[in-house]
Homo-oligomer: A and B are copies of this chain.
Amino acid sequence: MNRLIQKEINRENLLNQGVMLLMQQGYHGTGLQEILDAVQIPKGSFYNYFGSKENFGAEVIEHYITPYIQQITNYLAQPDTDALSALQRYFNESIAELERTHFKGGCLLGNLIGEIGDSSDLCRVALQTTLNRYRDVLQSGLSKAQQQGTIRTDKSARDMADLLVNTWQGALLRMKVEQSTAPLQQCCQALLGDFFKA
């Protein structure tokens, strides 16, 4: 009994550490040993939890997005704030966090798409579905904002959410290279604060 619980704990620890290291050092730039050392789990155990590094990568990708979706959902659920403000609050909070961590990492999804999007179909599909989940929650927020009259209705919430996701990803790359959150602020200002406005 205790055995299964420990297994889940170990899996979770590996995934969390995997998110951190893969985000900062990339897929091929991070060895399994480095992840295993960090969570004090022997090499042999890894293959009991995950079938391969590629499988692990795909699980890390799906594991990564959960807290972000949770955060947006929470902001959107608050009754005293309108949807547009909730989205802006989420992005501002993200920007503040990235500034705190000195722009390290950026977005695991964007980083891995660029690195292994061509070579690992398994990870590519994981990235696709994960990014779509992220888009969906933004879309629901934009849709709510349309109903509240703060976002224009002549464009679909879906299209705007896609554009927002893409521009945000590009801005995150630019942030890493410029060591500044200015691109992120520009992204929010131009889209949420201007182009998407009702």
Q: Which A residues have a C-beta under 8 Å from some C-beta of B? A: 24-29, 104-106, 110-119, 124, 127-128, 131, 159, 162-163, 165-171, 173-174, 176-178, 183, 186-187, 190, 195
Contacts and interface: CB of A to CB of B under 8 A. Distances in A.
B173 A186 contact: no
Contacts of A163: 167, 186-187, 190
Contact of A169 (B25, B128, B159, B169): B169
Contacts of A25: 118-119
A131 B163 CA distance: 21
Label chain A's interface by main secondary structure: helix
B186 A162 contact: yes
Given A118-B176, A128-B178, A169-B169, 18 more contacts: A26-B26, A26-B115, A26-B116, A29-B115, A105-B118, A110-B114, A111-B114, A117-B173, A131-B174, A131-B177, A162-B183, A162-B186, A163-B167, A163-B190, A166-B173, A167-B167, A168-B170, A190-B195
Contacts of A178: 128
- The complex is assembled from copies of this chain, and their number is 2
B167 A174 contact: no
Contact of A113 (B116, B159, B177): B177
Contacts of A127: 177
A183 B166 contact: yes
Contact of A106 (B28, B114, B128, B187): B114
A118 B22 CA distance: 11
6 contacts: A25-B118, A27-B28, A110-B173, A115-B115, A131-B174, A166-B173
A108 B28 CA distance: 16
B174 A186 contact: no
A128 B173 CA distance: 10
Given A165-B174, A166-B173, A186-B162, A104 B128 contact: no
